[in-house]
Structure 1
Amino acid sequence: MTATPTFRLHPDLTLGAAELTVSDLARSVAFYEQVLGMTVLERQGRTARLGTAARPLLTLTELPGASPAPRSTPGLYHFAALLPTRVDLARWVRHAAGTGLRIGQGDHLVSEAFYLNDPDGHGIEVYRDRPRSEWRWNLDQVQMASDPIDVAGLLAEPGADEPFQGLPDGTVMGHVHLRVTDLAATEAFYRGLLGFDVVARWPGALFVSVGGYHHHFGLNTWQSEGGRPAPENTARLLGVHVGLPSAADVDRLAEHLRAAGVPSTRTQGGLDVRDPSGNRLIFGASA
């Protein structure tokens, strides 16, 4: 039996912006504005921050001519923008259908989700959660699936035919799904060290969360088991921001990592730590 972790992250943890490199900043900004409905919050030189008026969701840094990171490397599988309501999702789906882009979909029982890639191959999920009262649990494991969405029912939501006006301010980074190289080492880090709960296990994948959410991180080895880091000249994940309620929570995590002998670095953005696959997490105070 696996021991219960002695350290646990605060249950009010939130996810912040994902940091990505892209090959053509102007092209990427246009994509995220026009397809996702994001707003440019700041643009300086080869870097742009995008999101909603309420919060950043992405930081893009240009590496001119960068090729997509190989799928065999650890890094981003997809980031997931969580919309406030089902009708918000329906409006976005109507809008996205008009772009001609190829979009996948899945009813995960806890959520309804649509999938696409940006021009550099970065994976994107746009989704809405079902009410928590409708989630089904088997002890500590949440039931999830990949069933077809009732698209006709989605598009028939009252108000779904109103024009999409961009991502609503209530949009947040719902979860981030990462490619990792070793599932056992990944579980030891996210569960054993950081104290996330493993809420679902699929072949080659773990889903972890705090506070009873269906997952804050997906972690899979489907293409990346034993993989090497992506070359620096590729379009790749640079890091994921993770919000804790206070600076004291960040300090508590820093002391826990120090006592465990796990390297971390204090930066202007917060506390940097890398998982066993090299994926960078940046913990900061969200308040």
Structure 2
Amino acid sequence: MTEVASPTAADSGASATKTFQERVKSGATADAARVNAIASDALAALREVVRKHELTYDEYNVFKAWLIQVGADGEWPLFLDVFIEHEVEQVANANRRGTAGSIEGPYYVEGAPEFGSEGTLPMRDGEAGRPLRFFGQVRSVTGEPLPGVEVDFWQADDSGLYSQFAPGIPEWNLRGRFTTDPEGNYTIHTIHPAPYQIPTDGATGALITAAGWHAWRPAHLHIKVSAPGHQLITTQLYFTGGEHVEDDIASAVKDALILAPKPAEDGSGEQVRYDFVLDPA
């Protein structure tokens, strides 16, 4: 049985912020006309909220204090990925013909270990959770199998915790990169993840409590699939009948991304096939 301490919002937020900042380097430029249009519309929308709800100064000051605390807790990656990213993803993938996208979330880390076309994710001795064999094929939108495709995979453990974002978990636990074989096939041996609450002891949790919302995400697998000449697909896969599939706080579930595992052929745990279809670049 594997047990670790629960991460605090501040610890998890600091890890998410650092990871994001390392991946997205400073120095990016933006078109002034786009900045003007987007920022102006965003501010106009906020002003309309003030007018519509006749915001009081007490409420305004609470809002300011909350914004400051989100930053102090390092929770902007968490807050934005939970409440905003699903809309960005929908816009970004509106014309995709292949596999449906979903949000990346705040817990992706580059550089996971490589395992070829088949392998077992790094796990602790006695890793809790039902064994899961996750396999499939990667194809183009015209049906050709795609060899040499990178399948970058990460997930929470049976306690709903991610390595590098919770204390006491080995660095690459339940993270790995796989490369499809000449027929485009891959096989990943892992465990069934658990639903989890996003951290609730920080500023994001304070908003959730004040609004009377729940903080739960359904159990899911994270995948990035990339190949030269094709569009990167970032997605999440869920489980039929799973808790909170119907009311995911991040609004990221899509029918096309729900898996229906079956008992494994070797009698150990379960298995499920999922084929990815990549759009041309």
- TM-score in terms of structure 2 length: 0.26
> Hey, which of these two has a bigger chunk of helix by percent?
2
From the CA coordinates, give the structure whose radius of gyration is larger: 2
> Hey, which of these two has a bigger chunk of strand by percent?
1
